[in-house]
Structure 1
Amino acid sequence: MNELKVCNKVEGAYQIIGKKWMCLIIHALMEEPKRFSEINTFIPELSKRMLTERMKELEECGIVLRNVITDRPVRTEYSLTRKGHDLGLALQTVETWAEKWM
């Protein structure tokens, strides 16, 4: 039964990071919080509609935090939660592998 729980958790993680653009969005946020337009510039092939959808999904999963800054002009920044940062660290291992083998 314990192996099934672990398997389900791993499968859940792959369902999140397996969606197109998720890993690149997390990568974009690893260094510092970014505004929507900055993420879109970082990944130019990603449409604004798809970025909006992915950001909502990441927020619902507790990976990304959306912060509205009420200064003038009002702006929204996105940052990784602790959970998201830990995922980003795990994905850096994949990036290292990709640089070596792809």
Structure 2
Amino acid sequence: MTAVRRPGAYHCGIDAAMDVIGGKWKVLVLWALNERAWRFGELRRQLPGVTEKVLAAQLRELEEDGIVHREAYDEVPPRVEYSLTPRGRALNEALAPLGAWGRRHVLGRAEAAG
């Protein structure tokens, strides 16, 4: 279930975590999936600017790392939904303080300047 892409190459826990969430879109996918499960097209609309190819690749990697669950329903037309696994919810909880820091120290500074 969990794929370690760089076995033995990590120097600390932050290095390992950054390997899982690295890239422009993964944390935004996690943020969107924190609200509810999404179908691919819905998720893509939630992330303006992401291409289908990149979103599909990012979701695949998050699924391989055990962060995202892909549920394919046996329906016509086919329906696939993406949601967070317990590991993904735990990762979002771990990222919450980082988001608070960004709101306070980056976004807050921009609001004060504006």
The answer to whether TM tops 0.5 is yes
Aligned counterpart for 1:42 among listed residues 22, 39, 46: 46
Which residue in the other structure is 1:22 paired with?
A: 26
Q: Distance in 2 between matches of 1:63 and 1:30?
A: 11
Q: Secondary structure, in 3 states, of the residue corresponding to 2:72?
A: strand
Are residue 99 (structure 1) and residue 112 (structure 2) matched?
A: no
**Which 5+ residue runs of structure 2 have no aligned equivalent?**
1-9, 107-114
Q: Deviations over 1:9-57 (max 9, x none)?
A: 4311111212221100000100111111111011011111000000000
Q: Which region of structure 1 is more displaced relative to structure 2, 70-79 or 23-32?
A: 70-79
| Cα distance in 2, alignment partners of residues 61 and 23 from structure 1 | 14
Aligned-residue offset at 1:73: 2.6
Which of 1 and 2 has greater Rg?
A: 2
Q: Does 1:69 align with 2:50?
A: no
1:30 is paired with a residue of what secondary structure?
helix
Determine what percentage of the aligned residue pairs are the same residue: 35
CA RMSD of aligned residues (A): 1.8
Residues of 1 paired with 2:76 and 2:93: CA distance? 34
Extract unaligned runs of 5+ from structure 1. 1-5
The number of residues matched between the two structures is: 98
Greater mean deviation of Cα atoms: 17-26 or 75-84: 17-26
What secondary structure does 2:66 align onto? coil
- Aligned residue for 1:33? 37
